[in-house]
Each structure stands twice: as structure tokens, then as C-alpha cells.
Amino acid sequence: MWAATSPSQVASTVLTMVSMGADCTMVDSEGRTALVLSKSSALNPALSTLMQTASGVSPDSSITERDAKTTAGMRKTESQLSLTERIRNWNWRSNSSKRSSGVEDALRYNHLASSGLFQVFNICDYEDKSRYDLRVGSSSDVNALRKMATELSCEIEVFENQGHKEMKKQLKTLAKDSMRLEKHGWLICVIMAHGNNGKIVVPDGKELQIKEIVDQFNSYHCSALQHKPKVFIIQACRGERMDVQRPTDSGPSGDRSSYSPVESDILIFYSATEGYASYRGNTEEEVSPFIQTLCKVITEYHRTEHLADMLTIVNRRLKETPIESAQGVVACYAVPQIVSQLSKKLYL
């Protein structure tokens, strides 16, 4: 590509590419790197110095006084634009870390040009109130998710109290909307509801298999998300086991079932270990420790950590924080469960 182009044009192009994260060690058909080209006598010395700086090499000490003045002028303009600083400190999401190597880049999901999509299903009001209590604190959890999505500059949609048919239709419609999904680098689907092991309960009392929800977005049913990460966050009980009586997201006991993802690039984050209840508060203030901690951790660490590491931090914080009843009695130490088949690191 570079052989038929003047060195100055090459350097200008490479400089732009470097600012976007390109590798300064790339070579042309003659084996010349951007750094070698930047030292060409045909280049403006100031531009040569800037290219050397971008490559992490000290500027050539043989620059003449006249060239130094030109370079100083160039640096002043560049300083105003903070270009060199951006190049030196560039990384995927933050200027606090060094730019990763090509090998490291291959281990990341490549979605820099597109943001993620949040789909939140909050089921808090049930028709049969004798069996399913009102999930009062869930409104605060929704607000926390909205705030987190804003911090991540992501699109978010919230669906409240959808019935069995309505929810299945919404999921299927989204999975088939290729034009929309192709604009996004990843999908996070959050479901907050009463539930049993492997199932969630919708307002009309019907159960929906978590496996059925996840399968809507595998590569067979949703080609637009093929090779893209799909994350499912489930705030619901997975059984009846608990330490003391307390409002939970558990429904009546039912058949036990399990779900093991067979498709790649899928992660499911459960609020409880298999067989255990998922604890939550019974007032507006007593929100879900799981959702609240998740939002806080992602907001705090998303610029430097990938998702799997952030979820591990969530697990540790919840493990170290006892959940107490209104009377101050320790109910349990909640430990969520991560089921992951992600094949790369996901940076939000």
C-alpha cells in the first residue's frame, strides 16, 4: 500500500492510524516500518519527530536549530490538540493504561466502533399475590441499571411486567432485528423476577425457561450477534434453600432443571448459586444487593477491567457482605454464579 505513496503522505496516514490504535511496527512491501519512513529526509522534521514519539522512540538528536524551531511550533499545535498524549497513553477505553500489543488485541472482542445494547425485563407485580409478593425494591434497581448504561454510553430499553406471550414476542423480535443488532458490539439482557431453578415466573404465573430465552440469541437463531458477546444477568431464585425466612425472589417449588450453554460467546450471571434463593429487600430502600453491587462495580471498573474480572469483584464483595434482616439478623452471604462460554475478553 505504501510503495506508491510519498513518505509524507504515508506518515500523515500512519499518524492518523496510530491515534486510532494502529500498530507502529507495521511494514510496507519493502519491509519499512512507520518509524523508518518517519525518518525519511523527505519528511517535515517536525512530523518525523512526532512519528518517532508515537513509536516510543526518542527524537533524533541531529535535528538542526531551524528544524527544532519548526518542531517546537508543531509541538505547540499538537499540545493544544493533546494528540501525542493520546497516542502515548492510548488504550481501548482509558488513558490510564498502556496500549495493548497485537497479541493482547486478539484476545479482545472487537467492538470499538459500536456500543452495547441493554434489554431489561423487570417483573415486579403478579396477578396471584397470594403466591407471589410484590417486588417493591426493583424500581430502584432499574434506576441503577439506567445510570450504568448512561455511564457506558449504551442504549437501554426497559420492559415492565410483560406477560408470557408478550415477553417471548419481544425477545424473538429483537433476535430477528439484524439491522439494529449489527450496530451494536454486544448485548446484555437483564431479567429480574420471581423464579425457580432454571425458570422465571411472569405476571400471569406462567414459567419461562431461561434456556429458552438464551437460545433466542445463539448463532442459529440470531446471526447478527454471531461472534459477539451475549450476557444474561438473572436476578431470580434458583431454588428454595435459605438460612432464615426473608422476602426473596423465589416462587413455589417446582421441577428442578439446569442449563448448560452450548453456544460460544455467551455468559450467564445468576444472582444465586443453583438450589438457593436470591435475596432482596422488601422496601424501596432495600434493593437487590446483586443488581446494586453489579452496577457499582461496572461503573467503577469498566474503563480498566474486562467483564469477567468485574463479575469476580461482584462475587467477592457480596461474599464479604452479609445480608441482614430488618431486625439485624444475618440472613446469608449471597454468592452469585458465573456460567461463561465467552471466548475473548469483553470490555464494556
**Residue 100, Cβ neighbours under 10 Å: how many?**
16
Catalytic-role residue among 194, 222, 295, 302: 194
Helix, strand, coil content of the chain in percent (nearest 5): 35, 15, 50
CA distance 194 to 236: 5
CA distance 233 to 282: 21
CA distance 148 to 151: 5
CA distance 325 to 27: 64
CA distance 267 to 269: 7
Catalytic-role residue among 189, 222, 237, 332: 237
CA distance 224 to 85: 36
Burial status of residue 29 (CB atoms within 10 A of its CB: 0-12, 13-18, 19 or more): exposed
User: For residue 302, what is the DSSP state?
Assistant: T
For residue 32, report the phi and psi dihedrals to the nearest 5 degrees: -90, 135
**Residue 325, Cβ neighbours under 10 Å: how many?**
15
CA distance 127 to 267: 31
Helix (H) or strand (E) holding 157, with range, is: strand 155-160
Please confirm, yes or no, whether 237 is among the known catalytic residues: yes
Please confirm, yes or no, whether 222 is among the known catalytic residues: no
CA distance 121 to 161: 8
* Residues belonging to the active site: 194, 237
